[in-house]
Amino acid sequence: MRLEYAVISLALVAMVVLPLLEALLRKTLHVGISGSAALVQHLTLVVGMVGGVIAAHENRLLALSTLGGLLKGRYSTLTRVLSGACAAGVTAALVAAGVEFVRAERGSGQVLVYGIPLWVVQSIIPAGFGLITFWLVRNSLGSWTGRAAAALLAGVWIVLWNWSPMGALIALGVATLAGGSCFCNSGGRGAGPVPERRRADRVHSDCPPLTGD
């Protein structure tokens, strides 16, 4: 996890330094940093996704229910597998939606700043959800048998989502009561494919690219 902590630390430092540097340059040299506002916004995206990966790795994703912790024996095992499977199913669906979104953004040819394609930064979305999916399955149970069962049930949930969304939402509600992650409960309602022409970020900075005002 050292890489994740390094990435999130650098992103947080950059989010603080960029606005301060922008203000300093405008005050002293009367110039600005091209795309600084867009950079800070996309660094926020990076921080959110990497933070989610760290929380999933440490099994610290927030839950709306503590019922799973109160159960013992086979019932505790069952609730952990169920909650982990449904959560992993939701994040796996979000991976697919994220890939579709990045593909659409790549076709648009938009640039963030300094020639960096916008889709390169937005690739953190499917990559982050992919890692979260892995850790949700990995932490569902301590045995590989239990993890395999969670992965299989996650696939079943995805099939159910495509066949009967209402049934999938009911299963997700049960998993939430069993201690599933609350972000997956809200994310499951929008886990479908992202429309091809959808655009999440159309941010343009008003600052000139290091030229006089």
Q: Identify whether 137 is part of a domain.
A: yes
Residue predicted with more confidence, 177 or 118: 118
Q: Identify whether 212 is part of a domain.
A: no
Q: Identify whether 126 is part of a domain.
A: yes
- Total domains in the fold of the chain: 1
Instruction: Render pLDDT for 103-160 as a digit per residue (tens, 0 to 9).
Output: 988 888 888 888 889 999 999 999 999 999 999 888 877 778 878 888 898 898 888 8
Angle at 96 between CA 93 and CA 102, to 5 degrees: 140
pLDDT of 178 > 80? The answer is no
Q: Identify whether 207 is part of a domain.
A: no
Q: Identify whether 195 is part of a domain.
A: no
Q: Identify whether 125 is part of a domain.
A: yes
Domain membership of residue 50 as a residue range: 2-190
What DSSP designation does 196 have? T
Q: Identify whether 121 is part of a domain.
A: yes
Indicate the pTM of the whole model: 0.74
Q: Quick one: average pLDDT of 167-171?
A: 79
Q: Identify whether 208 is part of a domain.
A: no
Contact (CB, 8 A) for 201 and 39: no
Contact (CB, 8 A) for 19 and 39: no
